[in-house]
Each structure stands twice: as C-alpha cells, then as structure tokens.
Amino acid sequence: MISSGVMSLPAVRGSFQRDAALKELVWFRVGGPAEVLFRPADADDLAGFLAARPKELAVSVIGVGSNLLIRDGGIDGVVIRLPAAFGRIRIEGTRLHAGAAALDSAVARAAADAGIGGLEFLRGVPGTLGGALRMNAGCYGREIKDVFVSATGLDGQGRRMTFGPDDMGFGYRRSAVPDDVVFVDAVLEGHRDDPVRVRATMDQLLSEREASQPVRAKTGGSTFKNPPGHKAWALIDGAGCRGLRRGDAQVSDKHCNFLINLGEARAADLEALGEDVRAKVLAKFGITLEWEIKRVGRA
C-alpha cells in the first residue's frame, strides 16, 4: 500500500530513495524498509522539504539506530536520515557546537582533544547527538541536560526554532520537545581540563562499558527504563529472565537489560521477548517496566 502523499514529494537537493532497506542502518539489524528515505543536503533543504511536503505525509527521523527497533512491516511515509553534513563539530572556548548527526562518541573525543572536561560520559552513549537530545541520554551519573546550552530544530512546517534548557523539558530519558521537531544542531558546554586526564577518564568508562555490556552484539542498548528506586536489570534478573529466548532473540547473559539478536531474529521476536520480560517482572514484583527502546513502524 502506498501512503498518502508519497506520490507528490517536493523537489529537494538531497536524495529520495523508495522502498529503502533500513535493517543495516540500525544496531539490531532487523526491520522492514522505509517507504521513502530522505537524506537532505543541508538544513535549508530539510526546511524546504518540511514546508512543502503534503500535510498528510507521515514523517519520522532515524539516526544510527542504536536505541531503535524497526518493526518487520517497515515505516510508512518519509523517513529522514541526516547525512554527514549534519555531523560537523566546532569548538568555541569550552563550548562545542555540533550537528545532530554527530556521534556522541565523536563529540566526547572532540572535547577531549580540546582540553574540555565534563562530556566524558558521552563516550559511553551510543548513537547521535540528535537522539541524545530527544531522550536526554546519559550514563555513569551524567545526562545531556547537565551539559546542554541550546539546540536548533525545525518544526513540522520547516520553521527554525531555538531551544534553551527550560524549553527542552528534560526528564529521565525524555524531553518535552514536540515529536515533529527535527533537531539539526546543539551547543554543549564543559570546563577546562587536562586532555590527558579527560582521555584517561573516557578510556576507563569505555573499558567498564565493554566489560559489563554486550557492546559487540546486535543489540539496541538499554531496553527498559529504570523504575523509580529500582534497577531494571536487577528486576529482570530477579524475575528469572537472564538468557530467556524467543527464537534468535535473547535476553543478554552479560547484562539482562539488553536484548540481542543472535543472528536471524525478527523485530517481532525481539518485541515479543521484551513483552515476556515485562510480564514476568510484573508478576514477580508488581512493577511495570517502561520501554526505553523506541519501537516504530508496522508489525
């Protein structure tokens, strides 16, 4: 079925790709295609597309898919993926100006090279800055909100908007920015520090992450949010779910708040396994786990 609007796409300087495979773009390596994949040439191209697109056309955004499960039926409408032109990083004093497509790890490394501390935690955050802004990503006691200065985004009509800390509405693994906003860049701030010390801290964080998480597996990162006063992994472990499987979908033996694709899992297998885990935790502890991984598309 062809979605309403995709037959009358506006002219762009970037590229449209119809029936575009997405599974190789996301960490789980599962999921169906995008009806249309749009890679804008730059922010003006993206703004022009958003302003001129048919209003009934569904639009969504993906980054590198580190915390994303695309269902097997794929995604209707236009999926926007920002290319490398949106990943540039510029240093100004103790501030980093970075495009939304910049990898969080690249932002951390750029800060270290410039002798800026306070952003080391981003070395352990998978994905891009745009996704980190959307979900207030963090680890090891630090979050985006702790280093955030401002961000620029385009709303559903292509209008440029600037967001300060109060506008973002940051909470635990979330922001309050409307869903139709596409972030294009942000400014983060750290503090002056010794580059050697900053790199040593990042190396330590990375070593701890690799020792405790299945980072080399086909995974989607932390599956569930930590409920207030609890650790999701401990609840999952306590409910007897470590190593639980549905076909080639498995709860990681190494860190049981991670689901992994052992090889030939479908998105449906991974999502159903997640629901199995939620049911077992609810039955054992009376606590309902909330998905942290974003699930999109048609089953």
Q: State the average pLDDT for the chain.
A: 96
Number of continuous H segments (helices) and E segments (strands) in the chain: 7, 19
Running DSSP on this structure, what letter comes out for residue 49?
H
Within 13 Å of residue 95, how many CA atoms lie on the same side as its CB?
9
pLDDT score for 2 = 65
Of the candidates 29, 173, 242, 245, the residue annotated as catalytic is: 173
pLDDT score for 215 = 86
Structurally, at CATH architecture level, domain 87-197 sits in 2-Layer Sandwich (3.30)
Distances (CA, A) of 218 to 87, 125, 147, 263: 24, 16, 30, 8
Q: Which residue has the higher pLDDT, 263 or 140?
A: 263
Cα–Cα nearest to 61, from 83, 42, 85: 83
Cβ distance 110 to 133 under 8 Å?
no
* Alpha-carbon gap, residue 136 to 145, rounded angstroms: 6
pLDDT score for 35 = 97
Of the candidates 81, 109, 134, 222, the residue annotated as catalytic is: 222
Strand pairing of 75-80 and 258-261?
A: unpaired
Mean pLDDT of 213-238: 95
pLDDT score for 263 = 96
pLDDT score for 114 = 97
At 8, is the pLDDT very low, low, confident or very high (cuts 50, 70, 90)?
confident
Pick the CATH number of 214-296 from 1.20.120.1750, 3.30.420.10, 3.90.78.10, 3.40.50.300: 3.90.78.10
Is 292 an active-site residue? Answer: yes
| 48-179-84-158 Cα dihedral, nearest 10 degrees | 10
Mean pLDDT of 45-64: 96
Cβ distance 209 to 202 under 8 Å?
no
Asked whether the predicted pLDDT for residue 184 surpasses 90, the reply is: yes
pLDDT score for 7 = 75
* Alpha-carbon gap, residue 12 to 10, rounded angstroms: 6
* Every domain range in the chain assigned CATH 3.30.43.10: 6-84
pLDDT score for 4 = 61
Is 222 an active-site residue? Answer: yes
* 63-72, 207-216, 248-257: least confidently modelled range: 207-216
* Every domain range in the chain assigned CATH 3.30.465.10: 87-197
* Alpha-carbon gap, residue 185 to 187, rounded angstroms: 7
- Tell me the pTM: 0.92
Token pair 């054992």 is found at 284
Cβ distance 297 to 74 under 8 Å?
yes
pLDDT score for 1 = 54
Asked whether the predicted pLDDT for residue 5 surpasses 80, the reply is: no
140: left (phi over 0), alpha (psi -120 to 50) or beta: left
Mean pLDDT of 43-65: 96
243: left (phi over 0), alpha (psi -120 to 50) or beta: left
For residue 78, give the 3-state DSSP assignment: strand
* CATH (residue range 6-84): 3.30.43.10
Is 8 an active-site residue? Answer: no
For 10-31, write each residue's pLDDT tens digit: 999 999 999 999 999 999 999 9
Cβ distance 10 to 49 under 8 Å?
yes
